[in-house]
A and B are shown apart, each in its own frame.
Chain A
Amino acid sequence: MQKRRREPAGDEPCGWLFDIKEFAVHDGPGIRLTLFLKGCPLRCQWCHNPEGIDPHPQTMTGPAGTRVVGRRFTPGEVASIINVQADILRANEGGVTFSGGEPLHQAAFVAAVIDRLDDVHVLLDTSGFASEADFRLVAGRCDLIYFDLKLMDDARHRAYTGAGNACILANLRVLAGMGVPYVVRVPLVPGVTDTPDNLRRIAAAVQGLPGLERVELLPYNRAAGGKYRAAGMTFAPDYDETRPCNTDTSPFIEQGIEVRVT
């Protein structure tokens, strides 16, 4: 089996995963294996993986009892989990997806895993919230990037995710110069990200960017709050969850941008 890129050298940076999911049909092309990396610097009000936020292991308590979420792996362990399925993933137009949490929060680990992979398509699913160095470290090793854009207004971004969007927008420009194809994904949160103004501004920001494959609008999932209680956290959205999302694609179509609602 041909190795993907380079032989790893030196210390193994260990990493934390909170889930590994096979046959994840909504995480990219073909049959994929998705790794959920623990830890995210953002605090989106609508985050549906609250157990992915804290970088440390934690307990989840549900009807079936209590379990510890978060397990430490070496890059070699994760790579071998992927590699035993590499042939299947490749034969089915798929590969591996790094998701989270925010995978770039453990950028060195993710890069080390990728370096140990056989010939497998790699997709990074990221909020873009990372240092440029970390972003380049991982994105440069990927075949496709799912890049989230949530809110163009910096103050609102801060209000809803706990941080401003400057480094996200900066990384988007970095990505546009890297030659790695990418999809910009917009989670549609009713009254927050789905406003005509925000969608127009996103369209303007991505219009003409080299490497952009398309924009995907992801309608709000009412199950978002499902896991908070089990994780010992509170789900407190200040928007109206029951409102239907605005899925108007015209701001993108008008700019000649390929757009899908998924």
Chain B
Amino acid sequence: MRKELREMRHRVRAKGHAVYRRASAPDVLSECEAEGLSWPRRVARLLRRQCEAETPVILPGERIVFTRTVPSVPPIYSEKEWDALFAAGKRHELGPISNICADWGQLLHQGLLERRAVAEATRAERADDPAAREFVECAMDGVDAVLELAARYEAEARRMGETETADVLARVPARPARTFREALQALRFVQAMVWLNGHYHVGLGRFDQYMGPFLEADLRTGRLTVAEAEDLLAEFFISLNKDTDLYPGVQQGDNGQSLMLGGVERDGADAVNELTYMALRVARDVNMIDPKINLRVTPQTPLDLLELAAQLTRQGLGFPQYSNDDVVIPALVDCGYDLEDARDYTVAACWEFIIPGKGMEIVNIGAVSFPAAVNEAILDGLAHSADLEGILERTRKNIRAQVDAQVDRCRNIILPPAPFYSVLMNDCLEQGRDLSTGLKYNNYGLHGACSANAADALAAVKHFVFDRGELEPSELVDALITNYDGREDMRRRLAREGPKVGNNDDRADAFLVKLFDFLADACEQCRDNGRGGILRPGTGSAMYYVWLARGSEGMAEPVVGATADGRKRGDFFSSSLAPSPGAPVRGPISVLQTYGKIDYRRICNGGPITMELSDTVFRDPESIRKVAMLVRTFAELGCQQFQLNALNADTLLDAREHPERHRDLIVRVWGWSGYFCELGPEYQEHIIARHMHGLT
């Protein structure tokens, strides 16, 4: 990377641009109240005032501009009124629409003015429909506010003598992009506007697909050299890191700026292009936490692409994350997605599969706590002299009850209007309907969390109690209730000698498969989630590996005490798809063989196999090639999603003691990566523990 870019990266990391941030956001609430504005009009007004409050800032040497100067999103309702809006139903997370993905290609090909013209036409056509009229007016107001800010940026660029930048801004985002630079600028600017409007986890979608044609045209006509294009792309990637400290998330870094590379086109043709490779190269060299890279693969993906991806993994960022088209696309079709749309999938913030421009899906309405379902079944079953079948039946019922409770809780989610975000989706303007009223796909996702510990617990009961008779049911129940107090021998035996998920051992894997079958059965019972969609079961755990073990404020699921896999109360669970922490596991191939057994045709919400490899595995090109082969093996074994980390345990330990020496150390946490030193202590602890149990 050029020196100028390295310096830019350094300045962004040091948050040098924060000096341009104002002390506070504009007061929007007063006028909303004084004018008695409707909800959609308040959201539109918010964007207008936010745009007006922005001061154009163009940093030295910058070619992809926008620096946020309004640090927060002001309220549009008083707290009381805000709560009242949701009184008849349920608010999802913070409220505003999040964790979906726009059709960025549409923006780049049409420009905001053409989108506005569509709104205008709908307003004329639907003159007798007040809701439609209000919606398109709000959408148009949003477009106008955004374009006014773009014009002020253009003026600032001219004032500074940055003629090229000014010319780019004179063109985009108002009109269709013509060059790679214009397309990157349009995307940067408009994506930032979505954040400014209060949305979060603003996904970037299939970046190489909508951006690739601009790159290819510029390279073909000689407008750009490869090196120049890489510089622009690097600058764009760096710019996505500017405001990450302002974004809401469980921990800093959890901001959902994920993008997808590779895969197939809507007609099924191979979609890998020049930009697929370039984005991997540039992400490797930029080496920052945003954007989070995903790569679609199949067993036929060429090794050279996977080798490049492995070089990115070596940086320790925890990406790319891989998803297997051969598994994901048929599963989405089974779920009711049109084949062309299924081929167009990307990921939401972490790992859930969604369709850009077409999905108002809530991919993470919650989690089913497998450990709670299993632990209760074991305690109750053993206390009532149940056999293994009886325990499994209780487990099935518990899972069903948890799913039903989740569905009930989410039956009536109220989504706030999002008129500007709707501009960026398919058919909202055309039909005069805000995206919050629904898009083509409106499914919910529900994850089965901490599956490995739960499966291991069932396997331990079968093995030690029923098959071998080495443990009396009452002994085990007592030990679980007393947190193995005075029974350390028993605990160790359960923890070390039982069958464990991750060893390609059917004695444990069969229970893993069963748990997910139970989850899929329960989800299939729910034919309508209340928004005309279904419930998609998934395999992710997000923060539940910590929360279910230790509790978290406001969490509905109970904290789970000691479990029959030899885990003591308070110890972490497994994260997404990974063997239980500390379980003896032979290695990566067995882990993949185990997880290849899950029926992903039914378990289609996503959630990766997570695996830690020592950074020594990446030390030479030959080993990098083997990592690429490991990814190919993942695809060949029919697994769904895979997230590989390169870690060095000594570095992590040192970083905990001496954060000042490791300010730039990046680690994968769950569906996202963050700076190790900025994580809460419990997350630091889990990452260290995970690596101590690492595979190689």
Q: A residues bordering B, Cβ < 8 Å?
A: 20-26, 30-31, 33, 64-65, 67, 84-85, 88, 91-94, 262
Contacts and interface: CB of A to CB of B under 8 A. Distances in A.
Contacts of B589: 22-23, 31, 33, 85, 88
Contacts, number: 58
A31 B590 CA distance: 13
Q: Interface SS of chain B: helix, strand, loop or mixed?
A: helix
B626 A25 contact: yes
A85 B626 CA distance: 16
B629 interface: yes
B586 A22 contact: yes
B635 to A, nearest CB: 12
A84 B504 contact: yes
Interface of B: 492, 496, 504, 582, 586-590, 593, 613, 617, 620, 622-623, 626-627, 629-630, 632-633, 636-637, 695-696
A88 B623 contact: no
B91 to A, nearest CB: 44
A23 B310 CA distance: 15
A93 B588 CA distance: 17
A23 B620 contact: no
Contacts of A94: 626
B629 A262 contact: no
Given A21-B696, A22-B586, A22-B589, A67 B496 contact: yes
20 contacts: A20-B586, A20-B587, A21-B586, A22-B695, A23-B617, A24-B696, A25-B617, A25-B622, A25-B623, A25-B696, A26-B623, A30-B626, A31-B630, A33-B587, A65-B492, A84-B593, A85-B590, A85-B593, A88-B589, A92-B629
A22 B587 contact: yes
Max chain A C-beta neighbours (<10 A), residue from B496, B589, B623: B589
Nearest to A223: B616
Given A23-B626, A23-B630, A91-B633, 9 more contacts: A21-B696, A22-B587, A23-B617, A23-B696, A25-B622, A25-B626, A30-B626, A31-B626, A88-B633
Nearest to B496: A67
A64 B584 CA distance: 13
Nearest to B624: A25
Given A22-B587, A84-B593, A85-B589, A262 B620 contact: yes
A24 B696 CA distance: 8
A35 to B, nearest CB: 11
B504 A23 contact: no
Contacts of A84: 504, 593
B593 A92 contact: no
A57 B622 CA distance: 35
Q: Which of B588, B623, B626, B630 has the most CB of A within 10 A?
A: B626
Contacts of B626: 23, 25, 30-31, 92, 94
A43 B622 CA distance: 31
A25 B620 CA distance: 10
A23 B587 contact: yes
B633 A31 contact: yes
A139 to B, nearest CB: 24
Nearest to A21: B587
Nearest to B618: A25
Contacts of A93: 629
A92 B299 CA distance: 12
A240 B77 CA distance: 72
B496 to A, nearest CB: 7
B487 to A, nearest CB: 15
Given A31-B633, A67-B496, A92-B632, A23 B623 contact: no
A26 B616 CA distance: 10
A196 to B, nearest CB: 26
Contacts of B636: 88, 91
Contacts of A85: 589-590, 593
A221 to B, nearest CB: 10
A20 to B, nearest CB: 6
Contacts of B622: 25
